[in-house]
Amino acid sequence: MLQFVLRRVIWLIPVIIVVSGVTFALMYRAPGGPWDLEKPLPPATVARLNEKFGLDKATWLDRDAVQVKVDEGVRNPIVLGGALLDTQFFNYLSRVFRGDLGPTYASQGTETVQQVIRNKFPISLRLGLVAVTFAVLVGIPLGVISAMRQNSFIDYACMFLSTLGIAVPTFVSGLVLLIILSQRFGISPIRRPEEWHSFFSTAYILPGIVLGLGTTAYITRLTRSSVLEIKEQDFVRTARAKGLSRSPVTLQHILRNALLPVITILGPAAADLITGSIIIETIFGAPGLGSLFVTSIGKRDYSTLVGITIFYASLIAIANILVDISYGILDPRIRTTR
């Protein structure tokens, strides 16, 4: 098991490189730059800022950069390799592997990306935890009840609600709830900024539920199909033939085996809920990492965008590793095959 975990952790390195490269390339293909403000800066100031943050270097070692080196009489491959490493991307990548995500361009270097993530991520994390908790506590029981009462009115009602939850996007359900609560009941779900910094704040309840609706519906359907498959297995029939009552059979035999497919998607789904709250944070005014990502796009804050993307990609990869570890805990047969 330890060797398996180490192999998966090592695979994080190429994942970070690929994610950084793709994000870096897409951002620099977009028009504009981090110093394109409403009030234009003097060219000398822009030049100094570009030099300070390394934006005056080539983004990639393209054909023109190679030709410049050749024109200067440099034909040594070691020197050309050094020119490749002295580009914006490889300079940034070297800092990433040293644990430095760089300064934020929006603050012109007064704040680092690590500081911003440290300040903003707890809000997104709490919002995601509320969504995951709601999805698990509601989705799994609904799926079990629906499967144990197959083809009944309860089954049809649960399937209708789960289909509705999957079909309706979160930004639609969020806006609908926002309109209903504010116009019909006079309750505004938009909270003051300081309310989001309390761990037990009620500000997270409504946006967390809205964020978790789609995952709740998916878990409900997956749990139902898994329970329907497991309850027809021979070992379940044997347990019933031995005279076990309905509850022990359901909890100890059916549910434990039926949870494996649910856990398969629960890790990535949890990471997706924690990292995918961009729209919900924008709708409900939560000052989390998702809303910062949106504002950073408009400001062309390249270091913040790449830093948040790497952070999110690492979370999803770690979630997948934890899911694989949980397989061995729930089913020892999987542990022996590794």
What secondary structure does DSSP assign to 198-236, as a single string? STT-GGGHHHHHHHHHHHHHHHHHHHHHHHHHHTTSHHH
Q: 104: helix, coil or strand?
A: coil
Q: 151: helix, coil or strand?
A: coil
pLDDT at 236: 66
Q: Which residues of the chain have pLDDT under 50?
A: 61, 63, 66, 70, 74, 76-83, 336
pLDDT at 245: 63
Which domains does the chain show, CATH number per domain? 121-336 (1.10.3720.10)
pLDDT at 80: 45
Single out the residue of 35, 14, 19 nearest to residue 301, CA to CA.
35
**Alpha-carbon span 37 to 306, nearest angstrom:** 20
pLDDT at 252: 63
Question: In degrees rounded to 5, what are phi and psi of residue 112?
Answer: -100, 160
The separation between the first and the last C-alpha atoms of the chain, rounded to the nearest angstrom, is 7
pLDDT at 82: 47
**Alpha-carbon span 227 to 256, nearest angstrom:** 10
pLDDT at 189: 65
